[in-house]
Amino acid sequence: MSAPSTNTTALYSELLRAGDASEYDKALKIVNKIIHEDKEDKKAIYCKAICLIHLSQFEDALKLLEKQVSDANFEKAYCFYRLNKIQEAYDTLKSIGNPSNKEKELLAQIFYRLEKYGECFDVYKDLIKNSEDDFEEEREANLAAVVSNLYNEKGKEFKNAPQLRDHTYELCYNSACILISQGEYALAIEKLKTAEELCKNLIEENDLTEEEVESELGVIRVQQAYALQMLQKNDRALKLYNLVLKNKPVDSAVIAVASNNIVTINKDQNVFDSKRKIKVATAESLEFKLTSKQRQIIAINNCLLLLHTNQIDQCRRSIQALTKKYSSCAAEAALLLAALYCKEKKVQKAVDVLKGFAETHPDQSLVLSFTLIQLLLTQGHVSQACDTLRSLGDTSYSLGITSALVTLYLSLEDKDAATNVLQSAIKWYRKNKSKGAALNTLIQETAKIELKNGHPQEAAKLLEELRKENPNDLKTIAQLIAAYSQFNPQKAKDVSKQLPPVSEITLNVDVDNLESTSWTMGARYIKKGGKSEPPSGKQDTGDGLIQKKKKKHKKGKLPKNFDPNVDPDPERWLPRRERSTYKKKKDKRGNTAIGKGTQGAMATGPEESSKTTLPPTTPSPGSSATPTSPNVTGPRQAKGGQKKKKKNRW
């Protein structure tokens, strides 16, 4: 190997100074000169790749490394990572036998992008434990982000969460994200307010511009708005989302999340705004900015919006795309397709879709099963709905589903099936040793149905079991007496001796309150206000009965000129104008005045026909006349006949 020339040595010295000054454009020109001198110089080729990486020319750097540098796996993995080829980056980095701290840092970032949060958590714990440098706070912030995602993924099952500090705004923000994952939304809002104050203080110290300030605060405010939305405070959440979008943050992921969440608040209202927002949230450039869960939620919301806006064909295509791209969204896609068929009034097709999915995915969510049951009930297929409920495994033995099954079977008048459901539930609870209120409730309800079905012996057996556990339960004793009285009256008498005396039962009973509140006797028997005094107009006779008081009849008043010897006027009850002695008044001209009666009626007079006229088309009373022009008015009564038009005088 030949020794380097004097010129090459000088170029390397100049390259070192440019690298220390972070002048990578200048360094790239220098290293090109070195390579021009010696094309086989591996060190110069490696330096050129590093310059290209610092200049964000990752594709050129990767090509150079793959062709001419064999042992630069870390740099190759970093180029793959920055080109969003995450799996290739992982495969390259995995080939390193004993990774250093910088290689572990990159591996942790790759695990995070691959959403392998458990492996990422282990790597960060190892790094924090075995490294001492100036990046401790950054690693702790990243670890907090991983913990937040683990809470989202595993919920309460994640128990290895470390105690994290929150003295910086990044750590405080990630602590708030952990609280949100745990459902502590109110505490998360307070933590986010603290993070916002810490962020503002840091920004003031670094003299950043207003745009940079709003970009940093946008992430915090969107998370705060989400917590408010989860607390059903949609108005405040909407204001924060719109504030963030108005400030136009640099991070496109923040814009997408805020836009999607506004669509969820709008629902089927403000459709045009929702269309614009969902278009922003579904942009292709966000493929590597959002997590797979976020992308799935946005895709589902897009389908729902298309469904609400009656874009049937486009909605069907979006559902098909959702199924192909995200296999984990198969249940949501089936529900969306069923809703689409219901929108088209093809309920049977919706039932077929849900049935087919339930057969191929028996362990899917209960939401899909209950949707299928609801559709079957709307179609009148009650027996099929019952079969679907009973196919839910252990869930079908819960009190709610058992009650629904009993109600449905009784509606079909299938009492044996209803009894069988209750007996199966009792056996399941006994097998799983889950004694308690649920089992007691099931036994009591089964005893009721057995009594109705005419099987008092079976009811008595069940109630005897309850009495052993709680011998002083009056309800159980009363039911047991009712059961024994049908086939063993002597046993019913023996059991009835366990009942306390009536005086003891009624000791704390407020009879007056019962009489004032009970509605079974009818409204006329209820005492108002619960008072013991009898109401006005009634008196107590002393024997507990309330009788009405007799009203005194007052004597009627007689007219002043009343004469008992003279017969009263037979027309005294008629109106005065209808009596034979009534005389009609006349005006000065001798015309009879208009009297009362039907609207529009006029008294006849000697000169009436020449003095008054009616319009030729008078609408009948009760008809609604539609005006044809602004000058048309209703019929009016003429005063003193029609007047002749006066001639205009100049």
Given a cut of 60, whether residue 631 has pLDDT beyond it is: no
Predicted confidence at residue 616, as pLDDT, reads 39
Tell me the mean pLDDT in the region 15-31.
90
pLDDT tens sequence across 260-301:
999 999 988 888 999 999 999 999 888 888 998 999 999 999
**3-state SS string over 336-351?**
HHHHHHHHCCCHHHHH
- Please indicate whether residue 598 or residue 623 has the higher confidence score (pLDDT): 598
- For the chain, the average pLDDT equals 81
505-539 exposure pattern, b = at least 16 Cβ within 10 A, e = fewer: eeeeeeeeeeeeeeeeeeeeeebeeeeeeeeeeee
Closest CA to 409 of 400, 397, 420, 424: 420
Helix (H, G, I), strand (E, B) or coil at 538: strand
Cβ atoms within 10 Å, residue 66: 13
Looking up tokens 């009792």 gives 426
For residue 58, give the H/E element and its range.
Answer: helix 58-68
Tell me the mean pLDDT in the region 440-454.
84
Beta-ladder partners of 540: 546
Count Cβ atoms within 10 A of the Cβ of residue 575 and give its class: 0-12 exposed, 13-18 middle, 19 or more buried.
Answer: exposed
Given a cut of 70, whether residue 619 has pLDDT beyond it is: no
Q: What is the DSSP letter of 546?
A: E
Q: What is the end-to-end Cα distance of the chain in Å, rounded?
A: 131
For residue 370, give the H/E element and its range.
Answer: helix 366-378
Given a cut of 70, whether residue 644 has pLDDT beyond it is: no
Using 50, 70 and 90 to split pLDDT, how confident is the model at 4? low
Side chain identity, residue 249: P
Predicted confidence at residue 588, as pLDDT, reads 64
Dihedral of CA atoms 549, 550, 551, 552 in degrees, nearest 10, equals: -130
Asked if residues 52 and 64 have their Cβ atoms less than 8 Å apart, the reply is yes
Given a cut of 80, whether residue 211 has pLDDT beyond it is: no
The least confident of 357-361, 490-494, 505-509 is 505-509
Chain-centroid distance, C-alpha 190: 23
Given a cut of 60, whether residue 148 has pLDDT beyond it is: yes
Tell me the mean pLDDT in the region 474-492.
85
| Greatest mean pLDDT among 288-292, 517-521, 579-583 | 288-292
Asked if residues 511 and 525 have their Cβ atoms less than 8 Å apart, the reply is no
Given a cut of 70, whether residue 594 has pLDDT beyond it is: no
Close Cβ partners of 208 (under 8 Å, ≥ 6 residues apart): 216
The least confident of 193-202, 451-460, 528-537 is 528-537
**In this prediction, what percent of the chain has a pLDDT beyond 90?**
29
- Please indicate whether residue 625 or residue 96 has the higher confidence score (pLDDT): 96
Asked if residues 540 and 534 have their Cβ atoms less than 8 Å apart, the reply is yes
pLDDT tens sequence across 54-100:
999 999 999 999 888 888 899 999 999 999 999 999 999 988 888 88
Predicted confidence at residue 3, as pLDDT, reads 52
Q: Which two tokens stand for residue 430?
A: 């006994």
Backbone angles phi, psi at 540, to 5 degrees: -90, 130
Distance CA 22, CA 296 (A): 41
Predicted confidence at residue 226, as pLDDT, reads 95
Cα–Cα distances in angstroms (integers) from residue 556 to residues 88, 559, 560, in the given order: 112, 10, 13
Given a cut of 70, whether residue 543 has pLDDT beyond it is: no
Helix (H, G, I), strand (E, B) or coil at 270: coil
Distance CA 327, CA 315 (A): 18
The least confident of 223-227, 254-258, 606-610 is 606-610
Q: Which two tokens stand for residue 55?
A: 């200049």
Cα–Cα distances in angstroms (integers) from residue 483 to residues 238, 339, 476, 478, 523, in the given order: 61, 49, 11, 9, 34
Beta-ladder partners of 514: none
Given a cut of 90, whether residue 456 has pLDDT beyond it is: no
pLDDT tens sequence across 113-142:
999 999 999 999 889 888 888 788 888 888
Close Cβ partners of 239 (under 8 Å, ≥ 6 residues apart): none
Asked if residues 174 and 148 have their Cβ atoms less than 8 Å apart, the reply is yes
Distance CA 285, CA 252 (A): 9
Predicted confidence at residue 545, as pLDDT, reads 52
Predicted confidence at residue 637, as pLDDT, reads 39
Dihedral of CA atoms 371, 374, 380, 384 in degrees, nearest 10, equals: 60
Asked if residues 322 and 332 have their Cβ atoms less than 8 Å apart, the reply is yes
Given a cut of 80, whether residue 494 has pLDDT beyond it is: yes
Asked if residues 292 and 326 have their Cβ atoms less than 8 Å apart, the reply is yes
Count Cβ atoms within 10 A of the Cβ of residue 649 and give its class: 0-12 exposed, 13-18 middle, 19 or more buried.
Answer: exposed
Distance CA 438, CA 440 (A): 5
The length of the chain is: 650
Using 50, 70 and 90 to split pLDDT, how confident is the model at 612? very low
Predicted confidence at residue 163, as pLDDT, reads 79
Given a cut of 60, whether residue 508 has pLDDT beyond it is: yes
pTM as predicted: 0.67
The least confident of 143-157, 431-445, 482-496, 626-640 is 626-640
Predicted confidence at residue 5, as pLDDT, reads 63
Predicted confidence at residue 134, as pLDDT, reads 79
pLDDT tens sequence across 308-365:
899 999 999 999 999 998 888 888 999 999 999 999 989 999 999 998 888 887 776 7
